[in-house]
């Protein structure tokens, strides 16, 4: 039986319940999947990899785009026959769609037995127990105003699960750590502020305790998370002064992300520190200098531009022009030229003309992004864009722009990657390569070696041959070939 932790979960009949978790969407959901596993295991349940074996199916959903939602509802619909055969199967809708649809999800997807919003994960064992007893519970986030004790209590409950959880994220040596919850930016197209609530920065001492525990448990790389993580602002811990330069001036004043990075980077044995996602409007000279001056902060900045046309950016309520975006990138590159900048884009936003789209392509050509994620605009109920602007770019135009922009980004990424050929890079080896047939020409595998995957400091994916003992360690590799998404490395023989 899995060990139990005290408190509310103790009396729940969870023993031997097999739970399967499916996570869609962003890094925040991947972290939430780890928290769900933690909280269910603490209540005595067993997490299983095969959904067919499970007594409880939990879906951590994303509400950012309509087609992701449609896919979840259609996957839930497909469970109807199984549920008829096994009426005691519990199906839970979690994540952003849970907050967005609330009790409405029970009507739209009759197989769903429980609905649990992102801020209510600590209540999950109780919700599962109630669902097994025949209820259909719905747990939504409480309103979060400053005076709202319910919101503060649910954040504190999340903090407790997060701080105590087992290490491991994308791979066993990596972990996500929440720096901020919610978002106050209200970009016109975006549902996140409505489903994840207002922006709240976590206390630095809580973040540091979590980071220390994770690193003690074997984590080498931490990624701090927030929707606009560079807006981080929090009262300093009791000890006051930040380890960031200008110690005297930083003592006692509010900490920003540069202070937090310096404090987390000082955790002994942490090898790499990253943060996502940054908002261009909140990119400061201090943070740009952190890339240069704070050890272990990796040269990797995910700072979505979304569009290159000022008219579109204005309608998106992004709060900057294309020239201001370019100036922020220039500031970062001046401080630390090796920083790889990654962007997101939305194509087909209402009113986007051919000239607007050309301005986005132009920004891509000028910024030379290391990678980019392109999304077709999807109107989200309740957002300003859905209310105010007709979704007037035809679907086939969105598709063509999506393809053209993706190709432009990939071509530049491939050119940038080719600059690495012949150079040596530090690779933190994450595990075995999931596609071991993808390799450089002329490769000869030594006995006992396999194909491994890892990342450069700038987050480029490297596949290389090596012994399994390298997993979790940093090695120096020579880049022998490069594609748009992958570098092929070789461990030098000397
Ligand atoms: N907070 C992050 C930021 O501001 O960059 C990420 C938010 S969202 C989860 C990730 C990406 O989804 C956004 O950067 C945006 O490109 C895209 N996105 C958000 N809402 C969208 C919508 N309604 N239609 C299409 N793409 C959308
Ligand atoms: Fe959405 Fe904008 Fe907030 Fe990102 S910054 S989560 S795009 S509202």
pLDDT in tens, 5-24: 333 333 445 668 999 999 99
Distance 347 CA to ligand 1 centre (A): 11
pLDDT at 202 over 90: yes
More confident residue, 241 or 160: 160
* pTM exceeding 0.85: yes
pLDDT of residue 152: 83
pLDDT at 145 over 60: no
- Terminal CA-to-CA distance of the chain, rounded, Å? 50
For ligand 1, what atom is nearest to the CA of residue 191? 20
User: Of the bound ligands, which one is closest to the alpha carbon of residue 193?
Assistant: 2
- DSSP string covering 422-465, please? T-EEEEEEEEE-S-TT---TT--PPTT-EEEEEE-TT--EEEEE
For ligand 1, what atom is nearest to the CA of residue 62? 9
User: Of the bound ligands, which one is closest to the alpha carbon of residue 69?
Assistant: 1
For ligand 2, what atom is nearest to the CA of residue 227? 6
CB-based contacts of 217, cutoff 8 Å, min separation 6: 166, 167
pLDDT of residue 437: 62
Band (148; pLDDT cuts 50, 70, 90): confident
Band (241; pLDDT cuts 50, 70, 90): confident
346 lines ligand 1 (CB under 6 A): yes
pLDDT at 179 over 90: yes
Question: Per-residue pLDDT tens for 429-458?
Answer: 999 987 766 566 666 677 788 899 999 999
pLDDT at 481 over 60: yes
Distance 306 CA to ligand 1 centre (A): 8
pLDDT at 360 over 70: yes
pLDDT more than 70, % of the chain: 92
For 286-339, where are the E strands, in sequence order? 300-302
pLDDT of residue 9: 38
pLDDT at 367 over 90: yes
3-state helix, strand, coil in the chain (%, to 5): 40, 20, 40
Distance 429 CA to ligand 2 centre (A): 32
Mutation to probe ligand 2, out of 64, 100, 188, 193 (largest number of atoms < 8 A from CB): 193
pLDDT of residue 55: 96
User: Of the bound ligands, which one is closest to the alpha carbon of residue 344?
Assistant: 1
Q: Which residues pair with 477 in a beta bridge?
A: 425
Determine which residue's CA is closest to atom 13 belonging to ligand 1. 344
Question: Per-residue pLDDT tens for 59-90?
Answer: 999 999 999 999 999 999 999 999 999 999 99
248's enclosing H/E stretch is: helix 247-250
- DSSP string covering 113-165, please? -EEE-GGGGGGHHHHHHHHHTT---EE-PPP--TT-HHHHHHHHHHHHHHHHS
For ligand 2, what atom is nearest to the CA of residue 186? 8
380 lines ligand 1 (CB under 6 A): yes
Least confident stretch, 59-73, 138-152, 169-183, 244-258 = 244-258
278 lines ligand 1 (CB under 6 A): no
pLDDT more than 90, % of the chain: 79
Band (39; pLDDT cuts 50, 70, 90): very high
Distance 79 CA to ligand 2 centre (A): 33
231 lines ligand 1 (CB under 6 A): no
- DSSP string covering 355-423, please? HHHHHHHHHHHHH--SEEEEEE----TTSHHHHHS---S-HHHHHHHHHHHHHHHHHHHHHHHHTTTT-
Q: Are strands 200-201 and 180-181 parallel, antiparallel or unpaired?
A: antiparallel
Average pLDDT for 391-407: 98
pLDDT of residue 263: 96
Average pLDDT for 273-300: 97
64 lines ligand 1 (CB under 6 A): yes
Question: Per-residue pLDDT tens for 99-136?
Answer: 999 999 999 999 999 999 999 999 999 999 999 999 99
Pocket of ligand 2 (CB under 6 A): 183, 185-187, 190, 192-193, 227-228, 279
pLDDT at 3 over 70: no
User: Of the bound ligands, which one is closest to the alpha carbon of residue 187?
Assistant: 2
Average pLDDT for 382-410: 98
For ligand 1, what atom is nearest to the CA of residue 190? 20
Mean pLDDT of the chain: 91
pLDDT of residue 250: 54
User: Of the bound ligands, which one is closest to the alpha carbon of residue 301?
Assistant: 1
The pair phi, psi for residue 383, each rounded to 5°, is -85, 160
pLDDT of residue 434: 77
User: Of the bound ligands, which one is closest to the alpha carbon of residue 349?
Assistant: 1
Residue 17 in 3-state DSSP?
Answer: coil
367 lines ligand 1 (CB under 6 A): no
69's enclosing H/E stretch is: helix 66-77
Determine which residue's CA is closest to atom 6 belonging to ligand 1. 227
Distance 32 CA to ligand 2 centre (A): 18
pLDDT at 323 over 50: yes
Distance 194 CA to ligand 2 centre (A): 10
């Amino acid at each position: 039986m899995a060990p139990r932790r005290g408190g509310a979960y103790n009396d729940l009949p969870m023993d031997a319940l097999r739970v399967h978790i499916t996570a869609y969407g962003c890094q925040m959901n991947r972290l939430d999947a780890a928290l769900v596993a933690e909280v269910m295991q603490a209540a005595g349940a067993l997490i299983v990899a095969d959904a067919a074996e499970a007594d409880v199916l939990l879906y951590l959903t994303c509400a950012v785009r309509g087609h992701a939602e449609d896919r979840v509802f259609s996957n839930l619909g497909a469970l109807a026959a199984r549920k008829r055969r096994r009426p005691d199967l519990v199906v839970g809708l979690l994540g952003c769609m849970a907050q967005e649809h609330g009790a409405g999800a029970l009507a739209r997807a009759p197989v769903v037995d429980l609905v649990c919003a992102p801020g209510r994960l600590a209540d999950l064992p109780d919700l599962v127990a109630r669902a097994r007893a025949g209820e259909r519970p719905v747990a939504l986030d409480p309103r979060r105003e400053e005076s709202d004790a319910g919101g503060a209590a649910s954040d504190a409950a999340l903090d407790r699960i997060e701080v105590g959880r087992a290490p491991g994220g994308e791979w066993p040596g990596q972990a996500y750590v929440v720096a901020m919850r919610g978002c106050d930016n209200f970009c016109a197209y975006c549902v996140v502020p409505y489903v994840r609530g207002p922006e709240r920065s976590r206390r630095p001492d809580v973040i540091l305790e979590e980071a220390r525990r994770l690193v003690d448990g074997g984590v080498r790389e931490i990624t701090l998370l927030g929707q606009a993580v560079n807006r981080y602002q929090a009262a300093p811990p009791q000890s006051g002064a930040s380890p960031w330069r200008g110690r005297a001036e930083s003592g006692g004043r509010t900490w920003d992300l540069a202070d937090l990075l310096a404090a987390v980077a000082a955790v002994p044995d942490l090898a790499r520190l990253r943060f996502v996602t940054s908002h261009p409007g909140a990119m400061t000279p201090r943070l740009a200098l952190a890339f240069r001056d704070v050890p272990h902060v990796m040269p990797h900045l995910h700072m979505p531009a979304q569009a290159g046309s000022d008219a579109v950016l204005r309608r998106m309520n992004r709060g900057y022009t294309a020239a201001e975006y370019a100036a922020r990138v220039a500031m970062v590159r001046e401080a630390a030229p090796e920083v790889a900048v990654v962007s997101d884009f939305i194509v087909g936003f209402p009113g986007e003309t051919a000239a607007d789209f050309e301005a986005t392509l132009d920004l891509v050509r000028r910024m030379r992004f290391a990678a980019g994620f392109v999304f077709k605009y999807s109107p989200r109920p309740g957002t300003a864009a859905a209310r105010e602007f007709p979704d007037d770019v035809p679907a086939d135009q969105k598709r063509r722009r999506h393809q053209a922009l993706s190709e432009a980004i990939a071509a530049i990424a491939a050119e940038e990657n080719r600059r690495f050929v012949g150079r040596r890079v530090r690779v933190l080896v994450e595990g075995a390569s999931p596609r071991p047939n993808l390799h450089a020409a002329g490769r000869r595998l030594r006995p006992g070696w396999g194909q491994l995957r890892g990342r450069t400091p700038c987050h480029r994916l490297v596949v290389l041959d090596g012994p399994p003992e390298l997993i979790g360690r940093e090695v120096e590799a020579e880049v022998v070939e490069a594609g748009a998404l992958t570098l092929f490395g070789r461990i030098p023989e000397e």
